[in-house]
Structure 1
Amino acid sequence: MNEITRHEKYKELCKDIYPKNLKNFPKDVIPLYAHENKKNGFFAYACKYHDRIVIVFRGTEFTKGNDLKNDYCMGKRKAIPEQAHDAYIFTERIKQVMKTKYPNYKLDLTGHSLGGSLAQYTHVLVKGINETVTFNSYGTDKTLKEYFEKKAPQSSINKITNYCVPDDMVGDKLSKGTQLGKVYYIDKKNLICLRHKVENMKPLSTRRIQKNKNSKSMCGNSSSNCTGSYTVQGYTRSDGTKVREYIRTCGKHNKMSMEERIKGQAKYKGKRFQDIPLDELEEAIGYFV
């Protein structure tokens, strides 16, 4: 099985760990053990998938105050969240079970959002983790990242793979380069979907290392097969004016009629970007570029 296929399965598991999907286990996945701490909101389960035991950490449930408290710890960079202790204990217990029941299996970790950060912490703190895959994770923080990278050998850190949606408030903006391991960027499926949900990510086969789809200098009427908005750097206008960075929109907006563009500009003219709803922002930008 190749890496992308395996990571797609982990993405599916991260989606299905939330309450409304929890019974939707794929046919090739066998659930084994679960652990929940209702006091701090922690939930994870271990399952068998081919030759691997996979621990899936649940991400943020925004209706639960304790999850938001853990998010605050990570988002404000003030502390390791309470749930990290539960993640460590549960993983160590699964390791002990594997010694007798699944001695030839590899142990992988995965998680989305808050769950992704728990997976990163646990990967470093627990010895013997084979691979960790996260989706739109908070990461750690600058100090913790330096500590973890000194504590764990680089060969272990390299076994952590993170998938982030560009400009996602959690996986990209709040993490601020504090992810452990490799980071790949995946666009969301369309302009309308919210960025943060794992099910809104495009197929992982489209992953790339760069944040922006096009970061090379562009001049003239270039074209591409993309849809949506992305940042272009080092652009020179036809009159020779150099622009350090601007947002270019392609696909849907490039094909709009002049009448649609005028109506769209009239709708958003004079509004500050921070006053425009998040799910309308990309559309609004498209009318002006």
Structure 2
Amino acid sequence: MSFDNYSMANLYTDLEIASGIPGLVSGKCDDEGLSEEEVDHQEELSPAQQVRLGKIIKIGGGNPDFESFRSCAIKFILEENVGAIIRRFSKKEGLPDAYSELVLKSDCLSVLIKGMLGKVARIPLSSEVVKSIDFASGWALDSPLPQTPYQRVSGLQRFIWDKVDQSFGKGAAQKLPTKHMRNLLSAARLHISIADILNKDAVYVRDVMRMCAQDAEEEERYAEHGMSAGLVFKSGKNFYPKWKVRHLRHVAYYAPSIVRSAVSKIENFDICLIGEGEARESIVREYIFC
């Protein structure tokens, strides 16, 4: 939604009052601190918009630095659109319903890996193997330093390959059914991404988003020439450079267009150009009305 006609130098418009901006600017962060007119305008918002207003005002009332405030708004938007992201990602990746339904379960990674090793590769799931699977799954979700979902899923893929090669000899992993592995990797990437959005702090989420964007842009430059950055070819496997670009992107790429637009605007508000106060106000509007 565009607000190009609004001037911060003038009195607040009805829509600005409805968004709670006067309360943010004055440091008021609850209904008791708002004027009667502001409370009346708040009631004109939809229930969902009122919830958003309360969330963003609560964050703003804590006087966070600007970048933390920006990060929180982006995380809030993504949290509220997890369902749409899962549906759109699953459709684009051709992910079967059984995999999509597993994505929101806490043991998703363990279930996926146990299924691949136990049911597909026919490796006995001894207590030692199960323990190693749980450790690998925990690593992928709890890495203290920001890593992209693609990097973490690549680590899980290497873990599976190593287990299969250890059991059946070097090169055995290359005989795993491509369809099963593709579904596992897609579901794992989606699960890790959603877990980050829901469980990691806002700064971590935004750092990972920027890392994904940088990696995808670099890969896209290589893909234009039919190459891949850091590519290791596997015998007998087809490789399509543009597929990797898609897999490197953050799952926010699969959000509805209005959501992607809001996130992009929030990410690009420049306090050097418009000032921190106006930038904060713009973030509030984009979040509430996206």
TM-score (normalised: structure 2):
0.30
Larger strand proportion of the pair: 1
Larger helix proportion of the pair: 2
RCO greater where, 1 or 2, for CA within 8 Å and sep 6 or more? 2
Question: Which one has the largest radius of gyration?
Answer: 2
TM-score (normalised: structure 1):
0.30
